Structure 1
């Protein structure tokens, strides 16, 4: 592996200006409203990784080309050790021998968002801020992102976190997590959909006058500081499989905003032994319709059991089109399938009854895709990506499986804390006014 010059980062909408990765991570969103991307995806050989290394070791090797020449480069190994304190185990599926589940829910908030949120927090903690001003991190969440970011930044000096979530459209336990931190964490329950929350955050980040009063950044998957570290668990799983089987590993990724899927695609683009990728969506069919041949048509999100994927206008589609500008190539590369609520219920019930495997609603969409692939005669080694612990969705899961779901200790501790959230209208002006009243220095 060799890096000729430090990578620079620019907007998906324009190749200039370009900035170092520290600047891109601190800003969250590019000045023109686009998403930051590297000038190119570096390549890396599988042999560059320590065969006996931890997930943190894999992350440090994988991400080194992205940070080369940056002030954070020397601290990258320590950042990875600090962020990846829990595993992402690959477990063989009882329902489909020869295929596996990648369990990404062993972090402090029982969801895959913990990986990226903790990495981002470790980076921002090390970056200087002008005049020691408090940095306000805006987060739009459809369920899991907000809690992961809150846990990662809780009581971190010089940082406030403002979480926007659609009131009544997250699970009760997700809502409790979002409001249970206090201190420097502020939860706002928005009278709208996730897409409203996302638009409000983007408008605030693009405001030309607000940052002078309230320095802002983002911790959604629009942030490179969230997306890049998520490549690590795909790389780690694929490398382990490749060393044992000498074949690439194929992934089925539940997705809404496309961040987790982009991480897998970028890891594959770097040369990691990753084969095919299938996207599992809920009834919000923007992506399945596009990959079936329709024009890309963002729409209002509809509420589903897999609420963290209730996205009608996925932000990372912009990064996807930047990565694969040839539309025919993109459509040939990916397939996306839509799974409705009735099927989600059936999958949760049947897999618990027949195989003793308890799934969250999001993971159930990916399991359904694997079930379909097997019925179609596809016997490739697939990995179902398990994005959240089923205990976060007990009101959906427990009636279907007929018994209580064991609650991880970290989640149980959060549920014992008091929780509260402020109401907020679904408008950019309402958020702007709230920030000026509550977060202005």
Structure 2
């Protein structure tokens, strides 16, 4: 299968070329030249086997095709269990059991496993430039740490990630370099995109991306939605609907693409924090990026969601059809706090701020009748609550146990370099 840019001004690329490049030369995002035929997947396989079966058409004819099962085995070696919540027919898909306790571990490990094979034997190392609003950078850093011929430069907004997130970003060293940028996530993302589009820089320092703009992150993230939906249908019959907390739209786009491939997913509802670009658009307003607002759910503090370009591509630029296909709701900090406290008080459930955002949206859908009582719904739990102890613990009145893998990272000393928001500052560091 070949891949094209959403902006239709770049040469057609193979899968390996698209994964290695990250961003298309015209500044667009890589998408399949055409979606493969709907896949009829069977339940009963493990997560890695489901991933390999789902992704096989995208790898057809590429040099990575034979390695796909091994890549999936490396990337999907952590569970993604679908757990029942206390409220009837509600579930949570726990995506936080990987090395850095966030859903992004799956995509980052898949990308690292793919790029390590694509870049094998290359004379110069490839530098991965990644902007993060919290969890992406840690997942990428952990996945690429000590990978030969690969380096990582992580940009994060100084003071706008949780203390434990910041520690994860700067604690690995070696081939991982963390830059704390005096600005917002949108500043970090704009600088990273400018570097990726800088042909003169690329000639001296080969670059790629590991943000959700990377095809190597997007494709594997379809797999856990497929696995959950197949397992649920086998156990209960019917479709599983999802509320997905989202910022840059990568995780939600993966679910949307999985459904387009025939995976038995029902409705997909998008939950955001106080950054209202998506809710305003789906309510009928123009798509209008704005400066991001800092919130408790910081990984979603995005004012210009990159993957909206892919979403419009999937719907052929038809805004009416796109608005008719999805709903999006914004949730403020006070409501996030109330949801965390109330769910723990009533049911003993503990959620990170991002997951709590989606839980509240599901509660709204249930109360309004938009989600019928007999429909089965799941919330994508994107991060372990222990990553946000300064928010969660005061609200529930107790400590949150730290997963062992995260505890090991927190024991390491951490260091991050300051970086100005001007692109020239990043360019100098990359050179």
TM-score interval (norm. to shorter):
over 0.9
Q: State the partner residue of 2:53.
A: 61
Q: CA deviation at 1:246?
A: 2.5
Output aligned runs, 1:90-101, within 5 Å.
90-94=82-86, 96-101=87-92
Asked whether the equivalents of residues 38 and 260 of structure 2 are also in contact (C-alpha less than 8 Å), the reply is: no
Residues 1:433 and 2:425 are matched in the alignment? no
Asked whether the equivalents of residues 43 and 269 of structure 1 are also in contact (C-alpha less than 8 Å), the reply is: no
Q: Secondary structure of the equivalent of 2:231? A: helix
Output aligned runs, 1:153-168, within 5 Å.
153-168=144-159
Q: CA deviation at 1:41?
A: 1.5
Paired residues, what number? 427
Q: Gapped runs of 5+ residues in structure 2?
A: none
Residues of 2 paired with 1:302 and 1:45: CA distance? 40
Q: State the partner residue of 1:348.
A: 340
Q: Secondary structure of the equivalent of 1:110? A: coil
Q: State the partner residue of 1:327.
A: 319
Q: State the partner residue of 2:79.
A: 87
Q: CA deviation at 1:43?
A: 2.5
Residues 1:203 and 2:194 are matched in the alignment? yes
Structure 1 runs of 4+ with >2 Å offset: 43-46, 128-131
Q: CA deviation at 1:312?
A: 0.3
Counterpart of 1:424 (choices 404, 412, 419) is 419
Residues of 1 paired with 2:413 and 2:341: CA distance? 32
Output aligned runs, 1:30-429, within 5 Å.
30-46=24-40, 48-49=41-42, 51-94=43-86, 96-128=87-119, 131-324=122-315, 325-377=317-369, 378=371, 379=373, 380-429=375-424
Q: Gapped runs of 5+ residues in structure 1?
A: 1-6, 437-441
Q: CA deviation at 1:212?
A: 1.2
Name the Cα RMSD after superposition: 1.0
Q: Secondary structure of the equivalent of 2:262? A: coil
Q: Deviations over 1:124-176 (max 9, x none)?
A: 01013675201100000000000000000001111110000000000000000
Q: CA deviation at 1:16?
A: 4.8
TM value normalised by structure 2: 0.98
Residues of 1 paired with 2:179 and 2:63: CA distance? 34
Output aligned runs, 1:5-16, within 5 Å.
7-14=1-8, 16=10
Residues of 1 paired with 2:137 and 2:392: CA distance? 22
Q: Secondary structure of the equivalent of 1:303? A: coil
Q: Secondary structure of the equivalent of 2:161? A: coil
Asked whether the equivalents of residues 44 and 62 of structure 1 are also in contact (C-alpha less than 8 Å), the reply is: no
Q: Deviations over 1:335-377 (max 9, x none)?
A: 0000000000000000011000000000000000111011112
Q: Deviations over 1:160-211 (max 9, x none)?
A: 1000000000000000000000000000000000000000000000001001
Residues of 1 paired with 2:88 and 2:403: CA distance? 27
The 1:247–1:35 alpha-carbon spacing in structure 2 relative to 1, beyond 3 Å, is same
